[in-house]
């Protein structure tokens, strides 16, 4: 039988619950999310359960990481089914603050990531994004005081930015990356996939196919520029508008010119109609 998680909606309630866990010597893993949970999120929860004795999932659609032109208002909110999924996974606690609990009147402090993790990928197209993410994730860490925090590799640059922040600010949290969960046809699961029309949903897996094709060619010894141009061509031909389709060093996210430059990662962001999708794979 699944048990409903404890739900905290204010900082004092959360703090008391975390203090209780700490008194009982629990180890805590945090899974930060914006809700609209799918099997990708569930895989993060399962990894969290393997790492710690207690799992806290945060559900907060963070306004500061959305530009005014983006989809904050339309972002899917599926509270009931989210809680049912978390209960089925035996999650201990859900941290679900309102905007006024996270950013009370007079809030005036931000975390501004800089350095190599701002690699000219997501930060180039969503300049407001990582400042909003770092600020809210910094707050989630100080609120929940987890030993571990689990982030998906689907948001690969975000994983790098958060890892750097946790190290730079001595937050005492071990950041763990978790592999991308895909639909059967290769499309990375994402809360935003619900925006796709049935026709767009058929086209969407092209992103994954194009990355696989470019990776195959790089491994076969083709020049990087030509292998990447091939993949970009497939994406454009399917009807996407590309933001970027790049191969980078998998750890530093720095530029690479040859396969020998280190472990490589292909990263893509592209728009299909009004939906923006991102994805990445190892070469
Ligand atoms: N397919 C997936 N596999 C593994 N982890 C994922 C997947 N999709 C999202 N995550 C991770 O879940 C966490 C919460 O992400 P979020 O709630 O934004 O979901 P999302 O599906 O990425 O939504 P969006 O469509 O807004 O990008 C992040 O660490 C993210 O990387
Ligand atoms: C990490 C995060 C929960 C911060 O709002 C968000 O960017 C996400 O869901 O990936
Ligand atoms: N999945 C990352 C959160 C965002 O795109 O806003």
- Average pLDDT over the chain reads 96
pLDDT of residue 228 exceeding 80, the answer is yes
Per-residue model confidence (pLDDT) at position 149: 98
96: annotated active-site residue: no
Note the ligand closest to the C-alpha atom of 280: 1
pLDDT at 3: 80
> How does 177-210 read in b/e, with b if 16+ C-beta sit within 10 Å?
bbebbbbeebbbbbbebebbeeebbebbbbbbbb
- Crossing angle of helices 156-168/129-144, nearest 10°? 50
Residue 266 has pLDDT above 80, yes or no: yes
For residue range 31-60, list pLDDT tens digits in order. 999 999 999 999 999 999 999 999 999 999
ipTM of the complex: 0.98
Tally: H helices and E strands in the chain = 10, 9
**pLDDT value at residue 121:** 97
Of residues 138 and 4, more confidently modeled: 138
pLDDT computed for residue 262 by the predictor: 86
DSSP-H helix ranges across the chain: 11-23, 39-51, 79-88, 99-102, 122-125, 129-144, 156-168, 198-203, 206-219, 224-237
Ligand nearest to the CA of 277: 1
Residue 133, ligand 2, Cβ within 6 A: yes
pTM: 0.97
Mean local confidence (pLDDT), 103-118: 94
Counting residues of the chain whose pLDDT is more than 90, the rounded percentage is: 96
pLDDT at 1: 61
| pLDDT tens column, 132-168 | 999 999 999 999 999 999 999 999 999 999 999 999 9
Say how many Å lie between the CA of residue 42 and the centre of ligand 1: 10
Ligand 2 centroid to Cα of residue 258, in Å, is: 32
Give 39 Cα–ligand 1 centroid separation in angstroms: 10
Q: Which of 68-72, 209-213, 265-269 has the least mean pLDDT?
A: 68-72
The conformation of residue 5, written as its DSSP 8-state character, comes to P
Question: How many Å separate Cα 70 from the centre of its chain?
Answer: 17
Rounded mean pLDDT, 100-111: 97
Top mutation candidate among 154, 278, 281 for ligand 1, by most atoms within 8 Å of CB: 154
- Domains of the chain, each with CATH number or no CATH: 6-178 (3.40.50.620), 191-282 (3.30.1300.10)
Residue 23, annotated as binding a ligand: no
Is 150 touching ligand 2 by the criterion CB < 6 Å? no
222, pLDDT greater than 70: yes
């Amino acid at each position: 039988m699944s048990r409903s998680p404890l739900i905290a909606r204010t900082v004092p309630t959360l703090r008391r619950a975390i203090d209780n866990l700490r008194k009982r010597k629990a180890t805590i893993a945090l899974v930060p999310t914006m809700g609209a949970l799918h099997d990708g999120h569930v895989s993060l929860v399962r990894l969290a359960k393997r790492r710690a004795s207690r799992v806290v999932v945060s559900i907060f659609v963070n306004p500061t990481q959305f530009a005014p032109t983006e989809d904050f208002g339309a972002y899917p909110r599926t509270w009931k089914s989210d809680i049912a999924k978390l209960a089925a996974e035996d999650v201990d606690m859900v941290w679900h603050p309102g905007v006024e609990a996270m950013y009370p009147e007079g809030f005036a402090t931000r975390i501004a990531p800089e350095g190599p993790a701002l690699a000219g990928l997501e930060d180039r197209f969503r300049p407001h994004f990582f400042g909003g993410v770092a600020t809210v994730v910094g707050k989630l860490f100080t609120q929940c005081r987890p030993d571990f925090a689990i982030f998906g590799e689907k948001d690969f640059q975000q994983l790098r930015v958060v890892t750097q922040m946790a190290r730079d600010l001595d937050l005492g949290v071990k950041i763990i990356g978790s592999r991308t969960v895909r639909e059967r046809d290769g499309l990375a699961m994402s809360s935003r996939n619900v925006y796709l029309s049935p026709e767009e949903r058929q086209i969407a897996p092209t992103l994954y196919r194009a990355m696989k094709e470019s990776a195959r060619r790089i491994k076969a010894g083709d020049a990087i520029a030509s292998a990447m141009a091939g993949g970009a061509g497939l994406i454009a031909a399917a009807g996407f508008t590309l933001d970027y389709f790049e191969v980078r060093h998998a750890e530093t996210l720095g530029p690479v010119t040859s396969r020998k430059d280190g472990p490589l990662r292909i990263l893509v962001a592209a728009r299909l109609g009004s939906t923006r999708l991102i994805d990445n794979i190892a070469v």
